[in-house]
Amino acid sequence: MTPIKSPPDAGEEISALIETLHETEQRLEELTAGEVDAVAGRDGRSFLLRRAQDQLRHAEAAKQAAILNALPAHIALLDPHGRIISVNEAWRQFADANALKGPGYGIGVNYMDICDHTPADDPSGGHQVAAGIRSVLSGEVMRFSFEYPCHSPIDQRWFSLLVTPLAGEPPNGAVVMHLDITEQHRGKEALRELERRFSDMLGNIELISLMLDLAGRITYCNDYLLRLTGWRLEEVMGQDWFKLFVPPEIEDMSAHFAALLANLPEAWHHENEILTRSGERRLIRWNNSVLRSGAGDVIGTASIGEDITERRIYQESLRRNEEQTRLILESVGDGIYGIDLKGSIFFKNSGAAKMLGYSPEELLGMFSHDTMHHSRKDGSPYPIADCPVHRSMRYGVVRRIEDEVFWRKDGSSFPVEYTTSPIRNDQQELIGAVVAFRDIADRKNAESRIRRLNRVHAVRSGINALIVRVIEHDELFNEACRIAVEAGAFKMAWIGVIDPETLDGKVVAWHGVEQAYVENIRLTVRDGTPESDRPACRALRSMQPVICNDIAKEPSLILRRDDLLKKGCKSVGCFPLMVAGRREGVIALFASQVNFFDHEETQLLLELAGDISFALDHIEKEKKLNYLAYYDLLTGLANRNLFLERT
């Protein structure tokens, strides 16, 4: 660059002034012997002497050199003409490592000439760099930057060149700095590849990708959103998202958007409907985040949305079906639970939990085999392989079991009938079984009661048939006991009669027991005797039926308890036989079940005793009529009818 010249007269005056200053400074140095660094003028201003100025310049230069050497960039200082006047340690190290070392590491060489002589197609852009340095040295621009590759035989590298002016107007030189940006450049390439892949992914996935600015305007959307809603890209870019896509009745979206811009966690995920171009509604589940600038400022939002319309319809349909199934399960009186292939219960209704005595939480996860058939009827263990439920799963068939026992939590059991059927998945693979069971204790009790009542009716029917043909007490009593045991399925029956004068009695007829046993039975109507509290004696005394439904707990039978239990007798009913209002006798019926005599059966047996009493009365009257027909009532002698019959 050609320096600007001053007019001749001004130059001479300046030269003379400079010469005078030099002479004055030199004279001051001699007078002070170098011990004074500065002097003051008449106006009080201080002036450094040359030696002090040189020292100050050297110190400042050393400080600047240390600073430049500490920087990782390759730095060279250029004078106003572009010549290198200084380089830092990083410049020297780079030259050493790349065999670029020249005399003084290029100091004194014109850097712009080197750049001008590079080939036009050189990737370092030498001509462009030279022009940029000149523009900085001339003061046209305050800085010039340029990125260029500088590959070595073993590696690829990139550098950034930055040229800035030194102080002065025009600049007194320039600072040229080369910074290795290889890692940043590689990162930018990787980032661009990542952005490309991300953009491709957003364009291809079946998810909505959407970006909004701070005002809620659309700055980006992918093709999936356009296909889903029927809009074209040019029709939606820059449009207000909330006005174009959000149904008008959703009024809280502005507040939600503000919460999202504030990056509040409750706004990161939400669901709402959007409108398509045709007015159809689609339900979208959103995952939201904020977009920030390089400085960290929020500049908008980014959202990924999943169309869950069909899924929600399916879920709602499934929910309705599950609710209907739940109502059905809860409305039936049966217990129902499902088990997996391992036998663990994975669903149940409240009826199952209630019948088994568990809470719903306890029943889930239980091993189903613990609730059923702990053992066979003969007491032997019941292996899982023989379980009808597991056989149902194994063979995939429906099975109905009518006589089974299930067990409650407290260890008690109850009779059930149950049906088990396999559960299959959508691929028709067996995944478990459902068990529907019913407590049939009441039904069994009712059936047992009906059978007992039928037996009682059979006994009554048999005895009524007996009444019309029997004419003797002994035959009536013996046949009544036989019919009670054989037709009524009682374990034992006997009839005892009372002497009206002594009020004591004995057993006169029996069936189902040996004679030796009944011969030891004593009957009485009197109080205070050892036999008075026995059921048969109490029935005679009170003239009312006496029921003992558990012989094992009857104190008055303690002496005969073991013998009775050994014979299979567990309950007894004693019914008085009355003739013309007086005690005639008692019939005792022994059953093989505890609590055999309920109210209805007692009433039927009481009627049975009444039938026998009627038969006794009938026999007695029949005998009296026969006596009156052949004997005189006053004398007791045979009358004409008997005489004629015998003659």
392: nearest Cα among 434, 426, 364: 434
Q: What is the dihedral of CA 564, 606, 617, 581, to 10 degrees?
A: 100
Please give the model's pTM, rounded to 2 decimal places: 0.44
629 CB burial (10 A radius; 0-12, 13-18, 19+): exposed
Whether 95 and 105 have beta carbons less than 8 Å apart is answered as: yes
Which amino acid makes up residue 336? Answer: I
- How many Cβ atoms sit within 10 Å of the Cβ of residue 549? 17
Torsional class of 214: left (φ above 0), alpha (ψ -120 to 50), beta (otherwise): alpha
Which amino acid makes up residue 591? Answer: A
Question: CA 250 to CA 273: how far, in whole Å?
Answer: 9
Query: Residue 582: helix, strand or coil by DSSP?
Result: strand
Report phi then psi at 635, rounded to 5.
-95, -20
How many helices and strands, by DSSP H and E, does the chain display? 21, 23
Torsional class of 167: left (φ above 0), alpha (ψ -120 to 50), beta (otherwise): beta
Question: CA 309 to CA 322: how far, in whole Å?
Answer: 19
Whether 534 and 556 have beta carbons less than 8 Å apart is answered as: yes
Whether 334 and 324 have beta carbons less than 8 Å apart is answered as: no
Percentages helix, strand, coil for the chain (3-state, rounded to 5) are 45, 25, 30
pLDDT profile of the chain (647 residues), mean per 10: 34 46 55 53 54 59 65 82 84 71 72 84 81 89 86 79 82 85 74 63 73 92 90 93 89 86 90 91 92 88 90 81 72 80 85 87 85 67 71 75 84 86 84 86 83 82 79 85 88 91 91 89 89 91 93 90 91 91 90 88 86 80 65 64 68
Per-residue confidence (pLDDT) for residue 121, from 0 to 100: 77
Count of positions (residues) in the chain = 647
Query: Residue 535: helix, strand or coil by DSSP?
Result: helix
182: nearest Cα among 154, 162, 155, 200: 155
Residues contacting residue 607 through CB under 8 Å, at least 6 positions apart? 460
Per-residue confidence (pLDDT) for residue 196, from 0 to 100: 67
Whether 83 and 90 have beta carbons less than 8 Å apart is answered as: no
Question: CA 198 to CA 200: how far, in whole Å?
Answer: 5
Which amino acid makes up residue 242? Answer: F
Q: What is the dihedral of CA 213, 218, 222, 225, to 10 degrees?
A: 130
Whether 133 and 170 have beta carbons less than 8 Å apart is answered as: no
591 to each of 117, 534, 547, 597, 603, how far by Cα in Å?
130, 17, 11, 8, 16
